[in-house]
Amino acid sequence: MTDYSLPSKSAQHPLDQPYVGVGPITAVKRFYQNYARFSGRASRSEYWWFTLVYLVVLGVLGVLAGVIGVSTGTRDAYGEVQPGIGFLPFALLLLLITLANLVPSIALTVRRLHDANFSGLLYLVNFVPYLGSLVLVVLNIFPSNPLGARFDAPGSGGQYPQQPYQNQTSAAPYPPQGPPAPPAPPVA
């Protein structure tokens, strides 16, 4: 019988399996541990916690770049403020962080699509102008689907842990005596 209980907090969770209910720190750790892994699955919490942390870091650096750039800036002939030298370190840091996280963020999105039982090739919808990114966000909102185990590596278990609020016993579609008997043929 397969054990569908959730792993304990102290147990090491397999990296190719989705980790349901993961927190932000563990999500970021798992993101970098799965740096370029396009197989397997990632839970919604893994995906959205990392996305939130990543956007907050980029936002803070962007605001710092803007504030320091304007405060050290000069005005040109048209009265426009041109960013000063203080803008450059933050802009370079933003560029480096974005480039360093490009491949792993694509891999995380592909694994998230796998967890919802979609092909990772659906990531390419992101290149459709305007609507592509919105469609990708909607696909990443979809709940986990146990059929997504087809994207797991062979022999990795491929079992999605059952949610704690779901019934642990499987109900048969028919009573134990078997399916209902077919109707009797008409008497001639």
CA distance 169 to 1: 11
- The predicted-structure confidence for 37-46, as pLDDT tens digits, reads as follows 998 899 999 9
Better-predicted residue by pLDDT, 127 or 70: 127
Q: What pLDDT is recorded for position 9? A: 53
- The predicted-structure confidence for 82-135, as pLDDT tens digits, reads as follows 888 888 999 999 999 999 999 999 999 999 999 999 999 999 999 999 999 999
Confidence category of residue 142, pLDDT binned at 50, 70, 90: very high
Position 4 pLDDT exceeds 60: no
Q: Three-state DSSP class for 111?
A: helix
H-run or E-run covering 59: helix 44-71
DSSP assignment of 146-174 equals GGGGGGSPTTS--PPPPPTTS-SSPPPSS
Q: What pLDDT is recorded for position 173? A: 52
Position 8 pLDDT exceeds 60: no
Q: Give the CA count within 13 Å in the CB-facing half-sphere of 123.
A: 14
Position 167 pLDDT exceeds 50: no
Confidence category of residue 50, pLDDT binned at 50, 70, 90: very high
